[in-house]
Structure 1
């Protein structure tokens, strides 16, 4: 690396992450030495992001300042994740406009119009879906993700979408996030509809998709920050959703197939799409 590069902020950030290292100058080049070789892959990726993206350098500076003040983990700012922020705003507007699924507008955003088509059997559901697409109502394949039927549901999904999605958008890029959103929405909405019909909604399928993607992709190239217990909690909650317990607790039935479909889609994306390229240090 060129000796003119200022890596002081990056060095402080590495120290805050517990990565023991030193930076020296040899033959007119800066050399980054790591005490533990297992940190090589994630550090190279982080360094690449730090050098190429001003917004990441700003984020690192904020982490450094918060660390000096006893702060916590790094999280992208709103300006670093505009797509995630826009998705949350759209979901909030839809919740308000549909009165949390109580207004007639809700039927325009479901996968098919439940008032227009019979959907008691799989054959009827497939026929309704085919007819809906033939009528040109293509928006319906995505809009169920923005439907929510309670404010706690919307708030929880929004928090998790921001926590995971903003990291994907900032570190892996906007095209990767958009692809994840589309694939996990299509799979989760499609599976839930095939099993139970059109009376469902929420960003939970996308959230589970992001969780599956972040967890598996993290095994190939560490870069995301989230507590390891999160994957255990989420998978455990998904399993519980397939039992009568949520109904017994008064939570009501859950869109379990959407959760499962989104999670599997996220895992698949992590398996077939390589982590972002990184340049050598």
Structure 2
């Protein structure tokens, strides 16, 4: 074993030790001369482990986050693996989307016209002015739900499965770490802005949770800069932006993917970034039990 550092006997290294185990770093902590000594099996790990240990000892907030992570019931072997009871709001949204997809025949029957931003059977949407007029008339009739309901329209199993997986993975982290109210605010604001942007640019014939997913991704990515707490691969943001850019080219239709709701993606992403800037980063620790 390779001796790395000796620290005071009263320092609690249990959380750091569990974190090292999650990183597959073989080590041992022993008592020596009234202190504690950290030993590593592989000396190549010494420099990064020493840097991590110094931060763990000197930054109380980071130490609390490490202890929360290793003690949290939603992390298994260091990976984010929540159960339904940990994110009931996200699960509810996914279930609603699944029922709507089933009852509307994936947007093929007349029930779907009650969920679009405006009813395409009633209103003209050929020009921007016509779309604005139709939306104002629709909202004036009290059909406020149409600002959110396009989120739950999906047009294939692949469409809803992809959106649900991404919403569960990212949305469940927001619900756990930042709270259910924060997630609800994100869902409402991002939905209204992404759906509104898409409708004004192209009309009511669109649907899906992808605008919300892009908003949540933008929020997680930017808010993470101020308080690291979310777990997702760094390449995800690169892939998402590249996919969004792809939607503005003919390639998606050439590949048989159909037309994408490009404005919903862009509007949702920008809304998520804006909310990350506007909303204060929560300071509270995540709950220890199931919600």
Relative to the length of structure 2, the TM-score reads 0.79
Task: Calculate the aligned-residue CA RMSD, in Å.
Answer: 2.8
Q: Secondary structure at the match of 2:73?
A: helix
The Cα of 1:250 is off from its aligned counterpart by 1.3
The Cα of 1:152 is off from its aligned counterpart by 0.2
Greater alpha carbon shift after TM alignment, 141-150 vs 41-50: 41-50
Unmatched tracts of structure 1, length 5 or more: 1-5, 25-32
Cα-to-partner distance string for 1:242-268 (whole Å, 9 max, x where unaligned): 011111111111100000000000000
- Structure (1 or 2) with the greater helix fraction: 1
Picking from 211, 215, 237, the partner of 1:209 is 215
Picking from 183, 188, 191, the partner of 2:197 is 191
Provide the C-alpha distance between the structure 2 equivalents of 1:48 and 1:268, rounded to a whole number of angstroms.
Answer: 30
Aligned to 1:30: none
Q: Following TM superposition, where does structure 1 have runs of at least 4 consecutive aligned residues deviating by more than 6 angstroms?
A: none
Cα-to-partner distance string for 1:98-132 (whole Å, 9 max, x where unaligned): 00001110000000000000010111001000000
Picking from 113, 132, 137, the partner of 2:119 is 113
**Are the aligned partners of 1:41 and 1:221 in contact in 2 as well (CA < 8 Å)?**
no
Picking from 88, 108, 112, the partner of 1:102 is 108
2:62 counterpart of 1:43: yes
Aligned to 2:144: 138
Aligned to 1:29: none
Q: Kindly name which structure, 1 or 2, has the bigger radius of gyration based on alpha carbons.
A: 2
Picking from 35, 46, 57, the partner of 2:72 is 57
- Greater relative contact order (CA < 8 Å, ≥ 6 in sequence): 1
Aligned to 2:132: 126
Unmatched tracts of structure 2, length 5 or more: 1-11, 32-50, 286-291
Provide the C-alpha distance between the structure 2 equivalents of 1:251 and 1:148, rounded to a whole number of angstroms.
Answer: 14
Taking a change above 3 Å as real, the CA distance of residues 108 and 278 of structure 1, as seen in their structure-2 partners, is closer
Relative to the length of structure 1, the TM-score reads 0.82
Cα-to-partner distance string for 1:139-183 (whole Å, 9 max, x where unaligned): 110000000011100000000000000000011100110011011
Aligned to 1:3: none
Greater alpha carbon shift after TM alignment, 73-82 vs 96-105: 73-82
Picking from 174, 177, 181, the partner of 1:168 is 174
Aligned to 1:79: 85
